Structures are given as C-alpha cells and as structure tokens.
Structure 1
Amino acid sequence: MQSDGRVVDFSVVQQHSTSEGQSYAMFFALVARDRERFDKLWHWSMLNLAGGDISQRLPAWQWGRKDDGSWGVIDANPASDANLWFAYTLAEAGRIWAEPAYTAQARVLLQGVAAQEVADLPGGLGPTLLPAPQGFQIGPGTWRLNPSYLPIPLARALQRLDPKGPWQAVIASHARLLRETTPKGFAADWIAWEAPAGGGAGRFVIDPQKGDLGSYDAIRTYLWAGMTPRADPLAPLLQQRLAGMAALLQGGAAVPPEQVRVNDGRSEGQGPVGFSAALLPYLQAQGAKNALQVQQQRVLEQLLQAPKEAPARYYDQVLGLFGTGFMEQRYHFLPNGRLQLRWEQACPQKGTKATTTKG
C-alpha cells in the first residue's frame, strides 16, 4: 500500500490497482484497528475508481498505467464482489467506529449494486449477482456467473442493511448454483446459466469459454465457506457440496492443486502458498485435521516466515491475511453477518474515543 492509499500489484505490467485489492485492504485495516489507513484507502478508491461520487458511478475495477504511459482507469466496468466488500466494510466500520457517514456511503453503494449488478435471470433462477454490469450476458439466453463473488456472511449483513433489496433472492440463487454445479465437491471459477429462448426451465452448464476449471477464482469459494458460521442455514450445504478439496488433501495430497476439473475431479499442478492459506478456515470447518496441519506448516514456512527480501505477491498475501487472520481469531462473522473483531472485546463502549484510534 502506498502512502496515498493505493494498493499496487507489481506482478502485472500495468502495476495496477483493482477495486478488489482496495476493498480487501479496507477490510484488513478495520480488522487491524487502523482507521487512518482505512480512510486513505477509501479516499483513493472514491477519487480514482469512482470519479469522486459513488452515487453516480460504481468503482471501476482496474486502474493503472495505460498503453500511452499515462495513469488512470484502464477498465471502467465495476466488479460486483469488490463493491459488496466495499459496502460491507463501510457498514461495519460505521457501526464499530460510530461513523454514520460510512453507513450512508455503504447504502449508496449497495443500491448501485442492486440496480446495476443484479439481474432477474429467466428460466427460474431469479435475481442473481452478475460479476459486472457489462459483458456477462454471453449469448441471447446465456449468462456467465462467478461462484466466488458472494460470501454468505456478507450477503447476510447486506440483507439487513438493505431489507427491501433483492438480497434474499440473490442468496437463494447462489445456493442453487452451488447445489447444482459441484458434482464432485469442487467449485468452478466460472459457471454459465442457460435459459431457453421460448421459455421454460433454465439450467447451469459448463461455461462455453472458461470450461469446468476450478482454480484462482474458485479458491475463494472454499475460503468464504470456511468462514461461514456453523449456525448459518446454508453452512451444511456449503460443507457438503464443497467437500471435494478436503477429501483430496486428506487423501494424501501435500498441497492444493492449481487446477481441478469440477465435473470429474481430475486435478493437476501445484497451487501457490496462498491456496493453502485460503483453505485453512475451510479445512477446519470440514474437520480435516491432518490436512489442516500440513497446510498450516506450509503457510508458516513459505508465507509467514518468508525472507523479507522475497518479492511481494499480491494474491498470496491477500489470501494469507484472510486465512491466517481468521485462524488467529482476529475476526469472525456472526450468523447475521455482523463482524466480530478481537480488539472490540478489549475496548470501552463503541463510539468512545478508544475505539477510534489505532491499537
């Protein structure tokens, strides 16, 4: 993170920043009780990704060095997962730090997501979260969806924030997606929904371009499932339908595969250490003790104890912060989606000066 609040991914030529990275960093700043960084991250995101006004424009997903050498928005299409993380984190920061302006901004963002990134898909699926406003209706009756874009704890909280919104139906369509697209217990990066032109029932199909691959996107689906409270009504479904990765690792695989073919369970390659970090909450929830110990040791050696001069890898670090932060009980989610932070328990009543300063 730069001093101005921009999170930079140096692994790409554009040295870009994404709405995903900005929203994740805001969440980590809240968990770390660092309001100064939180405000810098949100200020940079508002100014550079949303043109300074989220009521008029959802944050663009990609900002960086353009082909002509200038810096700015590279792709203005908003990413719905990042917008949900922005809204959720702002709402929780508003509650925890007693700052109504954060909560108001969260509601504005959420209204934009509901209007632009939720579509009532024909064929019986109903209101569904699209990855972005443009580019994901890939045929006359076919839409591309991403299973990793809707963490259930966030959806529960946003449903409370916007009770008149489409979120209950969105959760239902997401549950159906997981129920019907995981025949071997693995999540795909992308799934397509196909609705007949003349009406009738639609169905989930293999994405015509992306195939049945589960890899760098899908790894987050296991992460969110692992962080979903056991008391959540969908927790049993998540544990049942996503049990394939735990079985694979309990069966002797030393590291998570880089790729899985979700229709037959074939795996190949070696996933990076971030995959192991992402799977820690999931393996704990699955009761896969042996696999959990193996992955914890890998994370310790290759991420937490990595030499300081080792190159920074954005995605490994992000997944590492989510996974290890959860396992260290720095945060967890309540069944209603509310965020419970470890530092809150040692503070005076919310809204006092002590909760608005860094610990």
Structure 2
Amino acid sequence: MTKPVHRRAALQTCASAALLACFPGAQAQSTAAGGGRTAWPAWDAFKAQFINEGGRVVSDDDGGGQTYSEGQSYALFFALVANDRPMFEKLLRWTENNLCEGDMTARLPAWLWGRRPDGTWGVIDSNAASDADLWIAYALGEAGRLWNERSYRALSALLAARVLREETADIPGLGPTLLPAPKGFVQPNGRWRLNPSYMPMHLMHWLAASDYDPQWKKLVDSSLKVIRGASPKGFTPDWTVYDAKQGFLVDTEGKEKGQGTYNAIRVYLWAGVMHADAPGRKALLDTLAPMARYVREQGYPPESIDILTGQASGPAPSGFSAAILPFLRAMGDDKALQSQRMRLEARPLRPKAYYEQVLALFGQGAFEGQYRFTATGQLLARWKP
C-alpha cells in the first residue's frame, strides 16, 4: 500500500491569525457557529480550504487532489474536538460511501481515492492504512461517548475488531503488532516492515481500556517496543524493518534509507500529547530526548535525519515546528519551545499545504488547549466540561 513517502502535498500551519487572514470567510464561520460549536478558527480555515461540500478532504499533492483515508480520519477527530457534529457526520458518510463501498461494518476503508488513469474518480488502491483505521475507530468511539450516540460506539468496536483481524501479526519477540496495512508488509525470511508513526500510544491505551479485546493490551506493549527499538539514537525513522533473529534493522529498501522525515515527525507529536500519567510516557520521552536536543541546538527540526548518524538534511517546513510543540513542552525544554514558537511567527505556514495544516491542528491545537487526553486516552475537549 505504500503511502506517499513525504505526503509533502502538505505542511502548512499558519498560526490561527495567519490562517484567518488567508481565508477571510473563516472568521465569519467561527463567530457565527452555533449549536454548541466551540471556537477554533484554525479548524474553520481548514474546512474552507480542504473539505468539499460532500465531506471529502482534498489534499494538495501531485495526484491532483487525491484523498487519503488518513485525511478523513484526522478531519473526523478535529470535527469532534470542535464539537462540529454536522461536519463529522458528513465526513463519516463520505468515507463510508466512497472508501468502504457503502458499508464500514463490512470492510476497512481504502487508503487512496482520486482520479484514475482512465479519467474516472474512485478508489485507486483498495489496501487499507492502519493508522487511519485506528483514528477513525477512536473518533467514532469518543464521538459516541461525548455525543451519546450508540451507533458510533458500535461502529467503532466493529472497526477495531477488524483492525485486529486484518492489520496485525504475532511477531516473535514483539507479540501481536500493528502492521501498516493488511497486505504488503510481511517480508520473506521472518521480516516485517513497520511504521512507528502509525502507533500513537494514546490511541493504543484507549483501545486497551475500551474492553474491545484483550489483545489491545498486547499491542500497547509491542507499539512501545517498536518505537523505542526503531530509534536507537533517539531519532525515529519513517519505516523500520524488524527481523525475528536480528531485531530492528534500517529499512534499506525504502526510499528513505533509514531517514526520519514526514512520517516520523508524528512520533514526537504523539509522544507529546500523551497524559503525564500515561504508562510508558517517561520511557518514550527518554528515548526521543535527542530530538529535543537537536531542535534546541539548531533552532529548527530537521526535514530529514539519519537515525544512526544524526546527519540532517536541513530545516523542515514550519509545520514540523508546530507538530513538535507538545513534545518540547512535555520534555520541559523551554528554550527549544520558545524558539519554535518564534519560528512559527517569523515563518508562517503555507495556507494551501494540507499536511502542514494537519500538523498544525494537532500540534498547536494541543498546545493551545483545544484538546487533551487522559492517561487512558479519553478525549478532553475544550467544549466538554
């Protein structure tokens, strides 16, 4: 299934004020929002730029406006954070109708939708993406709890069960482990290709606490092992290879060749948004501490970094700075934190870069208190007392 390595069709985080300047209609949407909507101008700006009338998140990549299941999943989460139920339902309906052939209870969402070679629009690759599936299951479950909607909770449970059946493997030395997709990541000779950024620990804790299946507790353990084992020098790769006899190896076959880039930045983001009392948080932050030190010394996160040598390609787009804010705060690194806040002011994020805006909604949204998580991963949204 391989997702675009850089998903570079993106990265944009204009601070909220900058976003409003880029999209004049966003302020009106925010102030006019009724029905319990919480004020989140950055979300209104994102909707105006990237979500069409039908509830499809349109990326700005080279594919001419393709849609990824990941984008739909993130938007569902943001809509829940904003208490934007009409948009949540619209996003869910488009996702089920177009990525699940009309029935999310029967199949996982296809990861890629867009213009096909023959000019028609539809599913381009029917393989699923486990990170998107986890976020959809999470958004549905928490929407069911916060909005008291039983159908959402039921759909969440069914989707989570399907992830366990179709997107995990019992790997020697790791136990039950999340695969990136149902197909394409089990390699010959006892090897598996894994993606650490697909394993947000707060989602794993939530799934384990939701009593959907006791197997999720084992995936909590294996996910922490993957992230830490794949980051021997404190820098996480986009992709890693696990060998049943040798352990974690550099993924020399992939385009990244052992680099941490547009996927890996999310590992620091996910670590940063974990609750202070969440199991495994301290071990994870200790493992990733070298990245905080790099940012403090260089004044920016790297766009790409060799996970073994620490050799970096240069400064990343500003969206990386937004993504890393919660991580730097969790590390207690005030100097690095201040430098990234200043960098965002001096170098605003591009308003039409989809992935950059996604990183900003996550990173700045958490930093500004739009949402938090409990130790077991439940969502604490600003609108819900």
Structure 2: distance between partners of 1:36 and 1:178: 36
User: Which amino acid letter does the alignment assign opposite residue 87 of structure 1?
Assistant: A
Q: Return the offset for 1:268.
A: 1.5
Counterpart mapping for 1:316-331 below 5 A: 316-331=356-371
Q: TM-score, normalised by structure 2?
A: 0.84
Structure 1: distance between partners of 2:117 and 2:124: 9
> Which residue of 342, 345, 356 corresponds with 2:382?
342
Number of aligned positions between the proteins:
333
Task: Give 5+ residue unaligned stretches, structure 2.
Answer: 1-50
User: Which amino acid letter does the alignment assign opposite residue 221 of structure 1?
Assistant: V
Q: Return the offset for 1:230.
A: 1.3
Structure 2: distance between partners of 1:112 and 1:301: 45
Q: Return the offset for 1:294.
A: 1.3
Counterpart mapping for 1:87-236 below 5 A: 87-121=137-171, 123-196=172-245, 202-210=246-254, 211-236=257-282
Q: Return the offset for 1:267.
A: 1.3
**Conservation of the 8 A alpha-carbon contact between 1:14 and 1:66:** no
Q: Return the offset for 1:257.
A: 0.9
Structure 2: distance between partners of 1:96 and 1:302: 36
| SS of 2:139 mapped into structure 1 | helix
Structure 1: distance between partners of 2:228 and 2:72: 31
**Conservation of the 8 A alpha-carbon contact between 1:17 and 1:64:** yes
**What are the Cα deviations for residues 53-97 of structure 1, in whole angstroms up to 9, with x where unaligned?**
122210000000111110000111000000000000100000000
Q: TM-score, normalised by structure 1?
A: 0.90
Q: Return the offset for 1:232.
A: 1.1
Structure 2: distance between partners of 1:44 and 1:81: 18
| SS of 2:170 mapped into structure 1 | strand
Task: Give 5+ residue unaligned stretches, structure 1.
Answer: 197-201, 346-359
Structure 2: distance between partners of 1:14 and 1:77: 20
| SS of 2:156 mapped into structure 1 | helix
Q: Return the offset for 1:311.
A: 5.1
**Conservation of the 8 A alpha-carbon contact between 1:114 and 1:165:** no
| SS of 1:103 mapped into structure 2 | helix
User: Which amino acid letter does the alignment assign opposite residue 63 of structure 1?
Assistant: W
Structure 2: distance between partners of 1:77 and 1:165: 26
Structure 2: distance between partners of 1:194 and 1:208: 13
2:330 aligned residue: 285
| Cα RMSD for the two superposed structures | 1.3
2:94 aligned residue: 44
Structure 1: distance between partners of 2:100 and 2:127: 11
